[in-house]
Amino acid sequence: MDIDKSTPYAGLTPDCVLDALDSIGLRGDGRLLGLNSYENRVYQIWLEEGPGLTLDPGAAVVVAKFYRPGRWTDAQIAEEHEFVQQLAERELPVVAPLAQGGRTLHHFSGYRFAVYPKRGGRAPELEDRETLEWMGRFIGRIHAVGALAPFRARPALDLDSFGTEPRDYLLAHGFIPPDLAAAWTSVVAQALEGVRRCYARAGAVQNLRLHGDCHAGNVLWTDSAEAHGPHFVDFDDARMGPAVQDLWMLLSGERAAMVRQLADLLAGYEDFHEFDARELHLVEALRTLRLIHYSAWIARRWDDPAFPAAFPWFNTQRYWQDRILELREQIALMDEPPLWSN
């Protein structure tokens, strides 16, 4: 079935979701709950017990993720799944897709989907030093595995994919208000030049397989005796890039607070993987690229009804004025010394 990419989920009805799971031997009991996801569509689904159920005993609830049509190829999704499975095999606390019929990626009615075990948890307490060191140890272990081999099909995080191309998309599709276009174009050009200077100061740093979107919302903290500590979820943005990409999004507050947080993360991280301190020159550069990329990410999906509903402030005059001010601040921050050196 051909899917209209402007409204990619119009045909993904509750019956379609349940039929998709039924097609791989997982029969729902009729209950499903849409979870808070915009890039993909994610559902918590209650299952009937039956012979097709190959989950852990007693696991009657799963999470099904339906991938956004057209974003990733089958080969790219397969690399994501393979990476997460490699981490799980080394007993890292990640939520890996379940294999049904020997496969983790499934197709139904034009949609591609994967099924995951349900994991609960709360947001980690990032102001706690022990929590940060604990998370640093696990991120270090993730990167030790990520450094063993590169992604072949999935893209890299670089200036072109997160800076130049998003800028060009926003300009070509008329998202910037005409009276702000000159100011926005100028400040983005200055910001990208600042990113280039940061990369030049860092020099040739290693790219490895990353989580890619390692912020507090993608870490579930559990307090149970069986699974105490963090669980890393949603590797949908996994790609090649510098290790610091999976660290800087866990930092917040004023500079002094971020220095302390980074020191705590690296105290745990370097127990398992060496960190190249030159990458600290990239923290504000990577933040700048994420800001530019984020605007284009929303713009590309603006025809999806879920996006105007979830981001009503996007594409207003005030929104683009704020982005100009934000990037001016980033231009100054990129010329400051790195947060910390060891």
CA atoms within 13 A on the CB side of 316: 8
**297 contacts: CB under 8 Å, gap ≥ 6:** 166
| Partner residues linked to 65 by β-bridges | 42, 114
Residue 162, CA distances (Å) to 31, 205, 297 in order: 39, 18, 10
Report how far residue 288's alpha carbon sits from residue 282's, in angstroms, rounded to the nearest whole number.
Answer: 10
Tokens 């579930």 belong to residue: 220
Q: Say which of 213, 246, 264, 304 is annotated catalytic.
A: 213
Active-site residue identified among 15, 158, 234, 303: 234
Residue keyed to tokens 């127990």:
271
Chain-centroid distance, C-alpha 117: 19
Token duo for residue 118:
């349900």
Contacts of 94 (CB under 8 A, 6+ apart): 84, 87, 88, 142, 231, 232, 233, 235
Tell me how crowded residue 61 is: count the other CB atoms within 10 A of its CB: 13
213 catalytic? Reply is: yes
Say how many residues make up the chain: 342
Q: State in Å, rounded, how far the first CA of the chain is from the last one.
A: 55
Long-range contacts of 11-18 (CB under 8 A, 24+ apart): 11/109, 11/110, 12/41, 12/66, 12/111, 16/108, 16/109, 16/111, 17/43, 17/45, 17/64, 17/66, 18/45
Mark whether 234 is an active-site residue: yes
User: Which residues are identified as catalytic?
Assistant: 213, 234
